[in-house]
Amino acid sequence: MSLPTRRGLPEGGRAACSWEGGRPDRAGPCHRGAGKGIGLAIAETPAAAGATVVAGSHGTTPEPDALVDKGHVSRVPVDRAEPDAAGRLVEAAGGPIDILIDNVGTAPARTGGFLSVTDEEWRRTVDLNLLGAVRVTRAVLPSMPAAERGSVVTIGSVDATLPDPSSSTTARVRPPWWRSPRRSPRRCRRRSESKEAGPKGVRVNTVSPGPVETELWLGGGGVVASVSAAAGTTPEDVVAQASGATVTGRFSKPPEVADLVVLLAGDRASNITGSDFVIDGGLIPTW
């Protein structure tokens, strides 16, 4: 019987993860999308708590490589869009997986509007964001512990519940018709999975961040840069507007999101399933 750490993760537990273009795919002892930002923070936290982390990625960066060098994380080169990627990740774990953290996704700017997006762009988005998550979950669930205990946490987005195209400047390049179809199915699917997997001792939850201090938002070619270019304003103005739309007046930090994910993945949240947890600094109105 493994002893829980202070974070509630089973010491010596197995986590699978994956890096996909630098975006995390969420896997508890199995984690995908851990190359940087939220994904990297998620990979670091269970590793520090004593879990064995297996991370899959299409590419890599110096930060996760450092975790591999320390022996805390094993990396598996995979492209989540490939149908056999999930199987290779699970095979690399080499044993039962306690936690799956699914964090991979893509969020390119769409400055040309609805009519500018091609069938191939829609297919790529659905294949990566939706089918990629379906495949890895289908591969991992049979390997959850025989002791009937496991946890699946998916990283979503507040985009799934922001239908107003005039709600912010970012809507000009990340409009609701592009964001919501990518994010809503993942949250709805996880809730359905929680009903089927719950009687078997497997919990399924989602975490929906708002703006986070990551390259996806703040890096070159990220959301802020794309919005400022489309709106004819400065990146600083865009950050100020996005921050001002929150109650706390700032973006979330990757470790803050990771702490919430690890809490849900561990034993301290053992009676929480089928739920979505928002971490957005109060961005979504409560009325």
Q: Are 14 and 30 in contact (CB under 8 A)?
A: yes
Return the pLDDT at 60. Answer: 65
Q: Please report the pLDDT score of residue 7 as a whole number.
A: 44
How many Cβ atoms are within 10 Å of 83's Cβ, its own excluded? 10
Examine the pLDDT at 268 and tell me if it is beyond 80: yes
Of 80, 100, 94, 56, the C-alpha closest to 190 is 100
Task: Work out the average pLDDT over 160-172.
Answer: 53
Quick one: pLDDT band at residue 204, thresholds 50, 70, 90? very high
For residue 274, what pLDDT is reported?
94
- Assigned token pair, 284: 């979504």
pLDDT tens profile 34-86: 456 888 888 887 776 677 788 877 766 677 677 777 777 888 877 777 788 88
Average pLDDT over residues 117-124: 84
- pTM summary value: 0.81
Q: Look at residue 184 in the predicted model and tell me its pLDDT.
A: 58
Separation CA 184–CA 159 (nearest Å) = 8
Q: Does the pLDDT value for residue 211 go beyond 50?
A: yes
Q: Quick one: pLDDT at residue 259?
A: 92
CA distance 39 to 18: 8
Strand partners, 74: 54
